[in-house]
Structure 1
Amino acid sequence: EIKTEVSSIKGVQRPIPGMKVTGVHGETVKTEIPEGKATREGMKQREAAAKKLPPRQVQVIGGKTVRATPLVQNIAQKKGISLENIQGTGPRGLITKKDLEDYLALSGGEPTQAKGAFSAHQLAVARSLTRSKQEIPHFYLKCRCFADALLAWREKNRLGDGGKVSIDTLIIYVVARALGEFPLINSSFIENRPVLHKGIHVGFAVAAGEELYAPVIRDANTKDAKKIDAEVKKLSSKARSGKLDPRDVSGGTFTVTNLGMYPVDEFCAIINLPQAGILAVGRIGKTLDIDENGGMHIRSVCTITGSFDHRIVNGAQGAAFMQKIKDLMEGGL
């Protein structure tokens, strides 16, 4: 918006739209509405017409309000065209059929929006992760963990139906107990200071088609592995069927994410606001380990990577937390 000297002097009437005025530095500035439509009566008529727009002509696309006639909306939907890219010439920017036809003529009739646009949840996740990277000074620490004892415990402690607890369950179990000894990592940066959380509520990443959720195991440090496993499986099922409640995905104080089911050895994750950290776990593979006496052994191993908020956690604290997780994993719970 260009402010002129004329418009800023008290008692001097602002120029009518369409009028040419002289700017602060002597340049000629023309207001937005073209001449010929600049009368006060004309503006009143346009405002009155805009107020008469029926609600069905208003859409919200990607957070932007778009006004289009029902006919135009129908045509755009069939052709896979995003109306947010079209400039409307009707009242209050209403997109008319002619606007759509002109746009198609210029674009060669090709759709500008890929089918399967982001859902509201995906957009919310995208905005949250973007904000996290912009606001939180992430730093990352990784280490290798031998998983033989963990896998042996999983095999020995089968469920009543003969099944095994999930790897996600064991990671949550271990992380919850480590957080009990590192309360600062179980906190949030609020109003320029860390605020410690009373409970340890661990979220875990679940992919459901194109969606990504982080259901929360509440008071995870007070539950045994089998209790956590029952909740993990229940919440994962709800996520994949689209039946998660708001409470299921709120209140987390730390998050874990596991890509071990894919050929991913290691990765760095983005912290889930407003938490102070997240643990990323890669696949469990085999490696040749040479002990202190020169003995060679085939071991199961995985790489874990912690992402931390450097405003709250320093390098030494993060390293000690990773050491604790490693000790718990290699100790077989």
Structure 2
Amino acid sequence: MAVEIIMPKLGMSMKEGTIVEWHKAKGESVKKGEPVVSISSEKIENEVEAPADGELIGVSAEVDEVVAVGKPIGFIGEPGEQVPDPESGGAAGETKPEKETAPEQTRQALKPESPPPAAGKKRASPAAKKLARQKGIDIETVVGTGPGGRVTKEDVLQAAEKGTGTEVSPQTVSVPAQTETSQAAGGASSQEPVKKELKGIRKVIADRMHDSIRNTAQLTIMKHADVTKLMAFRKELNTDLATDEESVKVSVTDLLARAVTKALLEHPNMNSALKEGTIYEYGHIHLGIAAANDKGLVVPVLFNVQDQSLKDISAAIRSLGEKARDGSLSSEEMAGSTFTVTNLGASGISFFTPVLNPPETGILGVGATEETLAFSEKGDVVAKKKLPLSLTFDHRVVDGEPASRFLNTVIAYLEHPYRLLI
């Protein structure tokens, strides 16, 4: 008897999911526990494992199709077995009259055929593809040990250790050759632009950012923090912690999260939200730490960070960062933040205008540390490290002066780092 592959519930708020990729084609054998399809819900993408051994005898949801939680998206059965009809309980096509199947036949005839997979193209799990991109390894050169020669994450790791595969340079860009037609037209390209449908995670981000700009009164203020002492403090702290059995290493983001938390305790108006004409000032601090992966921007949350030590914060940020990179965050881990920190320092950006994460009142943007020269109190020229900070806030909730006091408090903690341990 055929077994249904069900659209899973990835989080408490999930109501529907989107088919991202089928890892098995109809007629292929599958083993219980083997990834058979990837699905996504908002900013989460997960693999769905086969519930039984057998053959993929049917697919009821194609790539990019949205399916409600609990509904079947495919079927596993014995070779030659008919796909069950969800309405009648029998095999599909057994009792349906011809007049009912005709519209379906017409719809299928009008439906554009999916292009066949490229000859010789390697089959690989999404996790393996992500890791291969991160390691700069050509997935086509990796020997797959999974079912049917499918490349697994372990295969990529093994290839990376052996130094096999072709390195892919991120700076290499493929530029299509100019055709004679385009050259004849004075060098202007006549090629059609590449069209990409706005969907999935990209659409979720687009909708939320547009709603944020449209429904709030956003203003950004900017100021440098002198982090010369902070960097020295961090270096000394990590030297002391190197003897720790757990090998904890504190990052600048960890120290920033601690500074923001302590500043929010002193300025609760920044730890608030405006909802339906009422301003809510929270007694807890759920700090969002924006992180990027190959799908887009995600914001994992540190819950009740006001009760956590610097060591706890560091461990939590490290754990959530790893989940963000491999796409394993749950919807619960990305909901409920009351203030957000976003960092573009790794990209070499200084000041920028971060967009609010509704319904939050504030978001702090962090740029790249800058090496500068300044005069000391004695008139000597000394080297300084400056950190650009950009605070965006909802002017409906907070005015410029109190927002400035909050930013100055964050800076005070960064410039007097030993206060972060109190």
TM range, normalised to the smaller chain? 0.5 to 0.7
| TM-score (normalised: structure 2) | 0.53
Once the 2 structures are TM-superposed, how far is the Cα of residue 109 of structure 1 from its aligned partner? 11
Letter in 1 for 2:272: S
Deviations 1:228-277 (A, max 9, x none): 11111111111111110111111100000111112111211000011001
Q: Distance in 2 between matches of 1:111 and 1:78?
A: 23
Q: Against the structure 1 CA distance between its residues 74 and 297, is the aligned structure 2 distance closer, same or farther, given a 3 Å change threshold?
A: same
- Cα distance, 1:193 vs structure 2: 2.5
Distance 1:327 1:206 in 2: 25
1:297–1:57: structure 2 CA closer, same or farther, 3 Å change rule?
A: closer
Residue pairs, 1:39-78, within 5 angstroms? 69-75=107-113
Partner of 2:287: 202
What residue in structure 1 maps to residue 344 of structure 2? 259
Partner of 1:173: 258
How many residue pairs align between the two structures? Answer: 244
The verdict on how the C-alpha distance between 1:113 and 1:289 changes in structure 2, with shifts beyond 3 A counting, is same
Q: 2:290, 2:264 → 1: CA distance? A: 18
Structure 1 residue 71: Cα displacement: 5.0
Asked if 1:280 corresponds to 2:280, the answer is: no
SS at match of 2:353: coil
- Note the alpha carbon deviations across 1:86-109, whole angstroms, 9 max, x for none: xxxxxxxxxxxxxxxxxxxxxx99
Contact 2:201 2:295 in 1 (8 A): no
Query: Are 2:231 and 1:146 aligned?
Result: no
Change over 3 Å in CA distance of 1:112–1:152 after alignment to 2: closer
334, 343, 368: which one pairs with 1:249? 334
1:305 equivalenced with 2:387 (yes/no): no
SS across alignment from 2:405? helix
The 2-side partners of 1:283 and 1:125 are apart by: 24
Pairing of 1:1-333 with structure 2 (within 5 A)? 69-75=107-113, 113-114=195-196, 118-158=198-238, 159=241, 160=244, 162=247, 164-332=249-417, 333=420
The secondary structure found in structure 2 opposite 1:274 is coil
Report deviation, 1:167: 1.8
Q: Which runs of 5+ in 1 are unaligned?
A: 1-54, 62-66, 80-107
The structure whose RCO (Cα within 8 Å, separation 6+) is larger is: 1
Counterparts of 2:404 and 2:271, CA distance in 1:
15
Please report the TM-score for the alignment, with normalisation by the length of structure 1.
0.67
Distance (whole Å) between structure 2 residues aligned to residue 330 and residue 186 of structure 1: 22
Instruction: Report deviation, 1:280.
Output: 0.3
3-state SS of paired residue (1:75): coil
* Alpha-carbon displacement from aligned partner over 1:260-311 (angstroms, at most 9, x marks no partner): 1121112110000110010001001210011344222101111101000001
Q: Which protein is richer in helix relative to its size?
A: 1
Q: What is the RMSD of the two structures over their aligned residues, measured on CA atoms?
A: 2.8
Aligned partners of 1:180, 1:307: CA distance in 2, in Å? 18
Deviation at 1:57, TM superposition (A): 9.5
SS of 2:284's equivalent? coil
3-state SS of the aligned residue for 1:297? strand
C-alpha contact (below 8 Å) 1:147/1:329 kept by paired residues? yes
Distance between the aligned counterparts of 2:310 and 2:344, measured in 1? 20
Rounded to whole Å, the distance in 2 between the matches of 1:150 and 1:212 is: 28
- Asked which structure has the greater CA Rg, the reply is 1
User: How far 1:119 moved relative to its partner?
Assistant: 5.0
SS state at 2:348 partner: coil
Measure how far apart 1:175 and its partner are.
Answer: 0.4
Percent identity (aligned):
28
Residue deviations 1:38-85 (CA, integer Å, cap 9, x gap):
xxxxxxxxxxxxxxxxx8699758xxxxx9934554526569xxxxxx
Distance in 2, matches of 1:263 and 1:59, equals: 35
Q: 1:221 to 1:56 in 2, by over 3 A?
A: closer
| Structure 1 residues 57 and 280, CA gap change in structure 2 (3 angstroms) | closer
Q: Are the counterparts in 2 of residues 56 and 70 from structure 1 also a CA contact under 8 Å?
A: no
Q: Which amino acid aligns with 1:175?
A: V
- Measure, in 2, the Cα distance between the counterparts of 1:264 and 1:59: 35
Question: Contact 2:264–2:271 (CA<8 Å) still a contact in 1?
Answer: yes
